[in-house]
Amino acid sequence: MQEYKISTMKDYSKQSIDQIRILEHLCKTSDRSSLRVGIESLKEIDGDEAFLCQIDNQLVGFLSWYTSDGIEANINGMVHPDFRRQGVFHDLLKSAASDMQMQGIQTCRFRIPSNSESGMDYIRYLGASAAPSEFLMVFNRAQIAGSSHSGLAVRLEEDQDLEFMVKCSSQAFGDSESWTRNYLTRTREPARITYIAVDNMIPVGMIRVNYLDTNTAVIHDFCVLPSCQGRGYGREILSEVVKILRDQRDFQIRLGVVTQNRKALSLYQSIGFEVTAESNYYVISVDMIY
């Protein structure tokens, strides 16, 4: 194999991003997979960390990562079909792991398309442990719910809502309040909007929107207080936020749902979201990468 060079991504020009986009398309086409490496999150300020592998100025490998809690890194990556099984991705990962350790990252979470044989081959070689898989869903058609709660409203987050958000999220998802508070604090940024759902002025749920770019909005951290679940709030809250986004512009609206959560899957489908891909997740300690 020709000698290759691994470097930290510093050029975020259209030309540089286009090279990554071309490689992603090549890998998707060759593998017939639903690969998505998060190109929209590559930006000079507040973007994902990224590493490139090049041979004679040809991009043959790519890895990016980000963390929402300062503890776990979420990994995306790909290697040109002609340069696989030659250590390219593992060297990219080791380069990234060095930076992760300096930043206190303890674990890596890999997202592998369920239809990517090469991705699954590598994750087996790495020895990572399986985590719950997830469906990617994209909004396709309007099925806006009629309101059965006349006092229900969705408003923008206010400063005094933080403690409710910590309580609602930690109780709904089973995370500790300390982890949730850290996560919410770290992910407060201009491109991420939080809505609070209130019924007659009493908070009952929350939902967040991450504007990845001018065309893509990702719904996440959607939850209703456990004490308020089973009353139809979820469908109305999600329908209202979808309506807000559609009124703003013609966004592609995305969300993810754990494949085992059939209740949530049915809810999203009833509103107009369709499954477009399935991703498997795997976790490994950063210390085990070397």
Do residues 74 and 67 touch, judged by C-beta distance below 8 A?
A: yes
272 pLDDT tier (thresholds 50, 70, 90): very high
d(CA 41, CA 91): 22
Do residues 4 and 60 touch, judged by C-beta distance below 8 A?
A: yes
Host H or E run for residue 16? helix 14-31
The residue-averaged pLDDT of 70-88 equals 95
Closest residue by Cα to residue 142 from 216, 261, 238, 266: 238
Token pair of 138, please? 């994209």
Token pair of 38, please? 């998060």
Amino acid (one-letter) located at 244: I
Q: For the whole model, what pTM was predicted?
A: 0.89
| Confidence check: pLDDT of 134 > 60 | yes
The residue-averaged pLDDT of 231-254 equals 92
DSSP state of 170: H
| Confidence check: pLDDT of 19 > 70 | yes
Within its chain, how far is the Cα of 264 from the centroid? 17
Host H or E run for residue 78? strand 72-79
Tell me the residue length of the chain. 290
Q: Identify the pLDDT of residue 281.
A: 97
Residue appearing with tokens 């309580």: 167
DSSP state of 233: H
The residue-averaged pLDDT of 7-18 equals 95
Q: Identify the pLDDT of residue 1.
A: 57
d(CA 117, CA 153): 46
- Ordered strands of the 58-67 beta sheet: 5-8, 49-55, 58-67, 72-79, 107-113, 273-285, 129-139, 252-258, 216-224, 202-211, 192-199, 152-156
Cβ within 8 Å of residue 164, ≥6 positions away: 196, 203, 206
Q: Identify the pLDDT of residue 162.
A: 96
Token pair of 126, please? 């790495």
